[in-house]
Amino acid sequence: MAGEAKGRREDLNLYSEKPMMLAFDGGKSGIGAGGVEIEGLVITEWKDIPMKLLLRIVSLVDDRTLIMASGVCSGWRDAICSGLTHLCLSWCKNNMNNLVLSLAPKFTKLQTLVLRQDKPQLEDNAVETIASYCHDLQDLDLSKSFKLSDLSLYALAHGFPNLTKLNISGCTAFSDVSLEYLTEFCRKLKILNLCGCVNGATDRALQAIGRNCSQLQSLNLGWCENVSDVGVMSLAYGCPDIRTLDLCGCVCITDDSVIALANRCPHLRSLCLYYCRNITDRAMYSLVHNRVKNKPAMWESMKGRYDEEGLKSLNISQCTAITPPAVQALCDSFPALHTCSGRHSLVMSGCWNLTSVHCACAVQAHHTASSIPHPAH
């Protein structure tokens, strides 16, 4: 299979080498009087390249080259624009806003668009243009778009009814009012990153998410200091399919948030409570209790795959109020939580009182090492 893939790639490189070289010479050279022969076809003009072959060729180049290719001629532009579904413009370090304004009306079939920035470039008018033309969009990354205002979220709400994944981490200007509005229209959201959205990610926003986004599976609320138990509990009750939740730095939450998640979210696999210093043993034992309570039903439904269910990743770093017996009980109840070297799916950095906690395989490794006879000195 690997050999076949390599062969196909070499063939495409051979097919595309001369046309692409001429194309990115600015089109000045032309195809040439004799044309270019590919698979028995003599191509005398750019528009003669079969669309299927053209799309195979451009699938091998990066997004910057692809955009250049779309400017070779109207035929290439139409073919690329009609077939392109994924685009990343994070490579654009300057003038991203103008580039988006230019491309959005052409690339109307986009399903995934990545506009992550190292320095703020994107403005509301670019997002409004995307929302006006790219109605098939399902996955949008606007992280670190510090210049965007609530106008962008209002545009997203009306432009993308099928949006399932949204990353607006670091967008500090968004308010909870606009985020609430967004959830009323984008009800198919499954993955939402609000890390650092200190003004947008509030209890009001989480209550709206709980009401409107019942399909949500992953939510990042890292360093959203305005989130409290009220918001997390609303999320737990409204989004029972949540699997990954990052509450890193949500310093206001208490055990009540974890208890609600343990009671209402049976599919929870990854939970980050880093620096949530109000978390105590009560939260840990609630996770253990619900694991034990749900074991018979899970065992029956999973037919022997019980160990694959339950928490697989837990970060309780800097949660200094938790004691070793509670964490050990948790570790014993969830076989996928590891403290052993190289796996570390149970992270306890800064909790010096938890150094005695070990997962089952770490204990087994220790016993094995202890049982090996040492040569006499």
Q: Domain of 223: which CATH number?
A: 3.80.10.10
Per-residue confidence at 295, pLDDT binned at 50, 70, 90?
Answer: low
Q: Which residues contact 300 (CB under 8 A, 6 or more apart)?
A: none
Residue 64, SS3? helix
Domain hosting 230: range is 164-293+309-366
User: Residues of the chain with pLDDT > 90: what percent?
Assistant: 67
Regarding whether 267 and 170 lie in a shared domain, the answer is yes
Domain end marker among 84, 106, 132: 84
Closest CA to 333 of 314, 319, 354: 314
Residue 266 lies in a domain: yes
Sheet holding 112-114: strands in order across?
Answer: 86-88, 112-114, 139-141, 165-167, 191-193, 218-220, 244-246, 270-272, 313-315, 346-347
Residue 78 lies in a domain: yes
Could you tell me the pTM of the whole model? 0.85
Regarding whether 214 and 337 lie in a shared domain, the answer is yes
The whole-angstrom separation of Cα 194 and Cα 223 is 9
Regarding whether 80 and 168 lie in a shared domain, the answer is no
Domain end marker among 28, 53, 84: 84
- Residue 315, Ramachandran bin (φ over 0: left; ψ between -120 and 50: alpha; else beta): beta
Closest CA to 267 of 244, 293, 238: 244
Regarding whether 199 and 71 lie in a shared domain, the answer is no
Residue 303 lies in a domain: no
Number of H helices, E strands in the chain: 14, 12
Regarding whether 329 and 194 lie in a shared domain, the answer is yes
Residue 94 lies in a domain: no
Domain end marker among 30, 53, 84: 84
Bridge partner list, 246: 220, 272
The pLDDT of residue 364: 58
Residue 355 lies in a domain: yes
Residue 101 lies in a domain: no
The whole-angstrom separation of Cα 271 and Cα 114 is 26
Number of domains in the chain: 2
Regarding whether 64 and 211 lie in a shared domain, the answer is no
Residue 5 lies in a domain: no
Per-residue confidence at 124, pLDDT binned at 50, 70, 90?
Answer: very high
**257-271: per-residue pLDDT in tens?**
999 999 999 999 999
Residue 90 lies in a domain: no
> Among 164-178, 241-255, 292-306, which is the least confidently predicted range?
292-306
The pLDDT of residue 19: 46
Regarding whether 356 and 241 lie in a shared domain, the answer is yes
The pLDDT of residue 55: 79
